[in-house]
Amino acid sequence: MSDTLVGLVSQYSPSGQERGAVEWLVARMKLLGYDDTFIDDAGNAVGVMGRGGRQVILLGHIDTVPGEIPVRVDDGVLYGRGSADAKGPLASFTDAVAKVGVKDGWQFVVIGAVEEERNSEGARFAAGQYKPEFAIIGEPNQWDRVALGYKGSAWADVTVRREQAHTASGEITAAEAAVEAWLKIKVYVDAFNADKPKAFDKLLLTLRGMESGSDDFEQWARLKVGVRLPVEVPPEAWYQILNETLRVSETLRVLVEPVGFAIPAWGCEKNTPLVRAFLSGIRSQGGEPRFVYKTGTADLNIVAPVWKCPALVYGPGDSALDHTPNEHVSLDEHRKAVDVLKAALEKLIS
């Protein structure tokens, strides 16, 4: 049962270099008896089992962060880049669907998406290609846990500019004003979080960098501000908060510039046939199912608002090992996850 997992992890595939792993997975799915296997226009690996009109999508990501780790199995534990994040979940999807096989009226689609660790180009493409009845997203959350929410994220450059002034003038510099701007943002965030005990409901603020400079006529200072967003604060609201919190004066000019792709948070419905099928599947393997809400983002945030179907996130592995030089997953946990998925899918379509 570990052949898919070990083989996939052995294909080093940091974002932008996924082609070899994609080709390997397509060939593996064909060998496992999938009805159709192909590489789509975004470069995703796709395997289709069944021809029915009701569709279940299992979307994992095949790319990893950079940093190759020698692949080895030691005392039942597989070490290698992507063993947890997130080739472990993707391999469990691949094996589980092969075990379930063709079911009348249903179609299972397993997708190994590219670019999740950058801008989720694979998931963005897939979101427009399918209309599933149920969606399962692959991320490591341990075999006996189901994730029902991932926070959003938004990044911004906050730039303060002012005319040059003599150093003896006593006037605030652009760099000093940037520090004050950061403290104002912190005050707002601390007040917002004060009555929220759960991290999933909080604004999680980070200062990712700062720089300053000047020329003959102007000073400037720039803050690189990141935030993990709760469901109640969409990215556009966060940018409005920044603009309203950082007052513009005649002397100091403050510009808030969104950077990259902003992603809203997403929380899944708990009382759905999909969730109930997974709770049953976990119990069938002797586990006590638990729910978790994550402070990171995932491809769930990309596809769930488009598909608008019952969804959840599942996969073996410990997310604390994501991106670390000691990334690994237990082969026994992989086996349990495959069995949970098989049981859950069979119950879901029964």
| Active site residue ranges | 63, 116
User: What is the CB-side half-sphere exposure of residue 218 using CA atoms within 13 A?
Assistant: 9
Query: Which ranges constitute the DSSP H helices of the chain?
Result: 3-9, 19-31, 87-100, 121-127, 174-193, 235-245, 273-284, 300-307, 331-348
Note every long-range contact of 32-37, with CB atoms under 8 Å and residues 24 or more positions apart, other chains counting: 32/4, 32/94, 32/95, 32/98, 33/98, 33/101, 34/97, 34/98, 34/110, 35/102
CB 229 within 8 A of CB 154: yes
Residues facing 229 on adjacent strands: 152
Q: Which of 198, 221, 219 has the alpha carbon at shortest distance from 210? A: 221
CB 328 within 8 A of CB 83: yes
User: Whole-angstrom Cα distance, residue 297 to residue 307?
Assistant: 17
User: Whole-angstrom Cα distance, residue 15 to residue 81?
Assistant: 12
Peptide bond into 86 cis (omega under 30): yes
CB 174 within 8 A of CB 221: yes
| Residue 111 burial (10 A CB sphere; 0-12, 13-18, 19+) | buried
Residues facing 154 on adjacent strands: 227
CB 24 within 8 A of CB 93: no
User: Whole-angstrom Cα distance, residue 50 to residue 32?
Assistant: 13
What is the token pair recorded at 224?
A: 């690189």
Tokens 């075999």, residue? 143
